[in-house]
A and B are shown apart, each in its own frame.
Chain A
Amino acid sequence: MAYNLKEVMANKPSRLTAGHRMCAGCGAPPVARMILRALKPEDHAVISNATGCMEVSTFMYPYTAWTDSFIHTAFENAASTCSGAEAAYESMKRQGKLPQDQNTKFITFGGDGGTYDIGLQALSGAMERGHDMVYVCYDNGAYMNTGIQRSSATPKFADTTTSPAGSVIPGKMQSRKDLTEVMAAHHLPYVAQTIAYMNFKDLYEKAEKAIYTEGPCFLNVLSPCPRGWGYPTDMLMEINKLAVETCYWPLYEVENGKYKITYKPAKKLPIEEFLRPQKRFKHMFKPGNEWMLEEFQKEVDKRWETLLALEEMSNKE
C-alpha cells in the first residue's frame, strides 16, 4: 500500500467540505476527511451518521458538507440504518436495478456515546450480520454534543458534567470500556484502533484497509474534544501524539484474528504527560491525589501488556 500524504492531499479533494460548524481544535473533522480520502476517487459512498456533534454541525437544513450520499436518522441506530442501505444495494445490484459498474462503499460515523453506549446493540447486530460496511467510532470520550456527560468511553477520574470531580467523588469512578476489544471479539475480518498522528499515515492506511476489506469492519479513532478535555485548540495534534506515546491509545489492528501493533513508542512516556494538559484531569494533580495518577498508570500498563501478549499469542504459528 504505497502512500504519500502530499499526493493524497493533492489528488484526492476532501469529500467533507469546508464550511461545516465543528469547533476549532476538534479532532473529528480531520478524521472524517482523511477516512473519506481513503475512498477511490471513482467510488461512490453512502455515509450513515449517528446523531451527535458531527451530524448536527455538518448537515443543518438546507446545507450539507457531505459530497457523498448521506443519511442520518437517530442516535443509536447509525449501524442498522447503514445495514439497511447496504442490504438494498446487495439486492438491487443482484437484480440489475443499479448500473453494473457502480461501486458503492458504506461508511458509518458515530461518536462514543452513539457507539459504546446507546448504539452498541445496533453496531453489534450489524457487524454480526456481516454487512459489507465500515463502522467508524470517533471517540472523544464523553457525550460532547449534549454538554460533556460521561459515557462508557470516558476515562477513569475524568471530570464531566455527570461525573463532576467533587469533594467526595473525584470524577468518573469507573475505567473506560475497551470497545476495540469488544469488536475484536466479534471475529470481524478487520478491526483497528487509530488516531490522526504522524502525517495521518496510520489512520489513512487503516481506513483504506477497512473500506476495501470485504465484510464488516470497525475503526476506533480517538478524536480529542477541546471543550470536553480542556486543551488549547492549537494543541490537537500534540494531544494525539501524547495519547499514542504514553500508550493510552495504542495503535493496532486485528486482521482475521491476528493482532498487529502498528506503532510501538521507542520510549513509553508516563501517563502524566497525556493527562496534564487536559483540564478534565486537573484535580488529579492536586497534592494528596498522587494515588490517582498511580492507579491510572497501572491501568494503562496493564492494557498495554495485555495487547503485547495478544499480539504475540495470535501470531504464533
Chain B
Amino acid sequence: MGIRERLSGNEAVATAMKQINPDVVAAFPITPSTEIPQYFSTFVSNGTVDTEFVAVESEHSAMSACIGAEAAGGRAMTATSANGLSYMWEMIYIASSLRLPIVMSLVNRAVSGPLNIHNDHSDAMGVRDSGWIMLFSENNQEAYDNLVMAHRIAENKDVLLPLMVCQDGFITSHSIENIELIEDDKVKEFVGKYNPEHYLLNAKEPIAIGPLDVQHYLFEHKYQQAEAMRNAKKVILEVAKDFEKMTGRKYSFFEEYKMEDAEIAVVCMNSTAGTTKTVVDDLRNKGVKAGMVKVRVFRPFPAEEIAEALGNLKAVAIMDKSDSLNAAGGALFEDVVSSMYVAKKQVPAVSYVYGIGGRDTTSKDIEEVYNNLQEIAKTGNIDNPYRYVGLRK
C-alpha cells in the first residue's frame, strides 16, 4: 500500500515524471521550478529513464520542442514558472490548438514586474483562456497525484488537450512533507502506453500539422477545442475514480471542507487551502458554521457544480492569489460569481486578492476574511466587494 517518503513538491513532481518515463523532456531553468529538470536530468544521466532530455535555450523553445516531440508521436513534458510561462505564451496557445496532450508542471510564481521570484498565481491566470486543462494542488501529495493522472486525462480521445499541474512556488515546491508514493509498476500500468492516432513519425502516413487556417475554418476548429474542454469534465472524474481504486485517495473538481451545513465559506486554490482548513476547524470549535471549497480543476471550470456547492451559503469569499488589475475582482472570483448567476444562486460574494508576490498569508488573514463574512451574512450588506487581505495600508 504505497511507499512512505518525505519529499519536497519539486521532488514529488520529478519522481512522478521518472515513473511516467516520457519520451522527451524539454525544459529551461527558472526559479522555483528549476529543481524539476535538475532532478530529472540526473535520472537521464544515470539511465533510470528512457527520456531524451532537451536542454533548450529558452522557455519558448521548451514549449516548441515539446510541441515538435508530441506531434512526432512521443510523450513530452516540461516544467516552468512565471516569466518562463509568459515567454511560452505564444506556444501555449499553439500546443492546445494542435490538440497535443503535452503535460507541464507549473510551479506558480509572480510574473514580473517588478522582478519577484515568490509565489502567487499570476502566471497561471495569464494562460487561463489558452485551452489547457489546469489542475491545482494543495501540497506535494496532490502535485504528485495530479501528475500521475495527467496523461490519462490529456490523451483521452475525447479530450486531446495539454494539461498543466500547478503548485505553489516555494511554499510547497521547496517544503519537505510526508508523501505516499505509488509503486513504479502501478504508475506505469495506470498511465499506460501513448498511442496517438496520427503523428509525424508515422512514415506510412505522412501528415501536415499547423496550417494557415483562414476565416472558413478557424471558428469550427476553436469550437472543437471548446468541445474537448467540455468533454474533459467527464474524463477527469473517470480518471479520478480509477485513481481512487488504486490509491484510496479521492479527487474531484474541488474539495469541499465542512460544507454540509456551512453558512459562510472561502473559495481558494493551492496551498492556502491548508491554512484555511485550520481556520475552519478553529471557527467550528467556536460554533461558527464555516466551510471551504478548494478548487482543483480550474480549467475546465466546473461552473454548475461550484454553483451547487455554494448555492445555499449566506456569504462567500473568493480568494485570488493574482490581481486581474481590472477594477472588478480576481479571475477565480469572476468565474465563481458568474457560475452562481447563471445557476440563479443569489449569494452575497466578495473578492479577496491576497498573497501577491509571496506575501505570507497567515491564519490571521484568513480569520479576518471569515469575520467579514460573518458580518455580511448577518446584514447582507457589502460596502465594497473588491477587497484585499494582507495588504499594508
Binding site for B on A (CB under 8 A): 44, 46, 48, 55-56, 59-62, 64, 66-74, 76-77, 80-92, 94-95, 97-99, 102, 104, 121-122, 124-126, 128-129
Contact call B65/A87, Cβ cutoff below 8 A: yes
Contact call A76/B69, Cβ cutoff below 8 A: no
Q: Which residues of B contact A125 (CB under 8 A)?
A: 56-58, 61
Contact residues, B231-275 vs A (CB, 8 A): none
Contact call B57/A82, Cβ cutoff below 8 A: no
Contact call A91/B55, Cβ cutoff below 8 A: no
Contact call B201/A98, Cβ cutoff below 8 A: yes
Contact call B90/A74, Cβ cutoff below 8 A: yes
Q: Check: B212 CB closer than 8 A to any chain A CB.
A: yes
Q: Check: B114 CB closer than 8 A to any chain A CB.
A: no
Contact call B211/A68, Cβ cutoff below 8 A: no
Q: Check: B283 CB closer than 8 A to any chain A CB.
A: no
Contact call A84/B208, Cβ cutoff below 8 A: no
Given A84-B24, A104-B203, also A71-B69 (CB < 8 A): no
In Å, the complex CA distance between A97 and B75 comes to: 12
Contact residues, B71-109 vs A (CB, 8 A): 71-74, 76, 90-91, 94, 98
In Å, the complex CA distance between A66 and B207 comes to: 9
Encode contact with A along B204-220: 1 for CB under 8 Å, 0 otherwise: 00111111111001000
Q: Which of A55, A61, A89 contacts B201 (CB 8 A)?
A: A89
- Minimum CB distance partner of B26 in chain A: A84
Q: Which residues of B contact A76 (CB under 8 A)?
A: 60
Q: Smallest distance from the beta carbon of B93 to chain A beta carbons, Å?
A: 10
Contact call A73/B94, Cβ cutoff below 8 A: yes
Contact call B91/A84, Cβ cutoff below 8 A: no
In Å, the complex CA distance between A125 and B71 comes to: 20
Binding site for A on B (CB under 8 A): 23-24, 26, 50-52, 54-58, 60-61, 64-74, 76, 90-91, 94, 98, 200-203, 206-214, 217
Given A71-B200, A85-B68, also A80-B211 (CB < 8 A): no
Q: Smallest distance from the beta carbon of A151 to chain B beta carbons, Å?
A: 19
Q: Which of B51, B73, B98, B208 contacts A66 (CB 8 A)?
A: B208
Q: Which residues of B contact A70 (CB under 8 A)?
A: 200, 206-209
Contact call A88/B212, Cβ cutoff below 8 A: no
- Minimum CB distance partner of B203 in chain A: A44
Contact call B209/A87, Cβ cutoff below 8 A: no
Q: Which of B55, B67, B201 contacts A129 (CB 8 A)?
A: B55
Q: Which residues of A contact B24 (CB under 8 A)?
A: 84, 87-88, 91
Contact call B57/A84, Cβ cutoff below 8 A: no
- Minimum CB distance partner of A122 in chain B: B61
19 contacts between A and B (CB under 8 A): A59-B211, A60-B211, A60-B214, A61-B214, A67-B206, A68-B206, A69-B200, A70-B208, A77-B64, A80-B61, A84-B70, A84-B72, A85-B71, A86-B68, A91-B23, A92-B23, A98-B201, A121-B61, A126-B61
Q: Smallest distance from the beta carbon of B204 to chain A beta carbons, Å?
A: 9
Contact call A71/B71, Cβ cutoff below 8 A: yes
Contact call A81/B67, Cβ cutoff below 8 A: yes
- Minimum CB distance partner of A66 in chain B: B208
Contact call B57/A71, Cβ cutoff below 8 A: no
Q: Which residues of B contact A126 (CB under 8 A)?
A: 61
Q: Which residues of B contact A74 (CB under 8 A)?
A: 64, 90-91, 94
In Å, the complex CA distance between A55 and B68 comes to: 16
- Minimum CB distance partner of A68 in chain B: B206
Closest 3 pairs between A and B when the two form their complex, measured CB to CB: A84-B68, A125-B57, A84-B65
In Å, the complex CA distance between A95 and B49 comes to: 11
- Minimum CB distance partner of B216 in chain A: A61
Contact call B64/A73, Cβ cutoff below 8 A: yes
- Minimum CB distance partner of A42 in chain B: B203
In Å, the complex CA distance between A71 and B60 comes to: 17
Q: Which residues of B contact A44 (CB under 8 A)?
A: 203, 206
Q: Which residues of B contact A80 (CB under 8 A)?
A: 56, 60-61, 64-65, 68
Contact call B203/A84, Cβ cutoff below 8 A: no
Q: Which residues of A contact B217 (CB under 8 A)?
A: 61-62
Q: Smallest distance from the beta carbon of B86 to chain A beta carbons, Å?
A: 15
Given A84-B76, A89-B201, also A71-B68 (CB < 8 A): yes
Contact call B50/A61, Cβ cutoff below 8 A: no
- Minimum CB distance partner of B94 in chain A: A73
In Å, the complex CA distance between A140 and B45 comes to: 43
Q: Which of B64, B206, B212 contacts A81 (CB 8 A)?
A: B64
Q: Which of A64, A66, A91, A122 contacts B57 (CB 8 A)?
A: A122
- Minimum CB distance partner of B200 in chain A: A69
- Minimum CB distance partner of B75 in chain A: A88
Contact call B68/A48, Cβ cutoff below 8 A: yes
In Å, the complex CA distance between A129 and B24 comes to: 14
Q: Smallest distance from the beta carbon of A71 to chain B beta carbons, Å?
A: 5
Which of A76, A81, A97, A102 has the largest number of chain B CB atoms within 10 A?
A81
Q: Smallest distance from the beta carbon of A89 to chain B beta carbons, Å?
A: 6
Contact call A46/B64, Cβ cutoff below 8 A: no
Contact call B209/A121, Cβ cutoff below 8 A: no
Contact call B50/A94, Cβ cutoff below 8 A: yes
In Å, the complex CA distance between A83 and B24 comes to: 11
Q: Which residues of A contact B209 (CB under 8 A)?
A: 70-72
Q: Which residues of A contact B66 (CB under 8 A)?
A: 84
Q: Smallest distance from the beta carbon of B102 to chain A beta carbons, Å?
A: 10
Q: Which of B91, B98, B200 contacts A46 (CB 8 A)?
A: B200
Given A85-B72, A88-B68, A102-B203, also A60-B212 (CB < 8 A): yes
Q: Which residues of A contact B212 (CB under 8 A)?
A: 55-56, 59-61
Q: Smallest distance from the beta carbon of A175 to chain B beta carbons, Å?
A: 27
Contact call B57/A121, Cβ cutoff below 8 A: yes
In Å, the complex CA distance between A74 and B50 comes to: 29
Q: Which residues of B contact A60 (CB under 8 A)?
A: 211-212, 214
Q: Which residues of A contact B57 (CB under 8 A)?
A: 121-122, 124-125, 128
Q: Which residues of A contact B26 (CB under 8 A)?
A: 84, 87
Given A56-B212, A73-B210, also A91-B68 (CB < 8 A): no
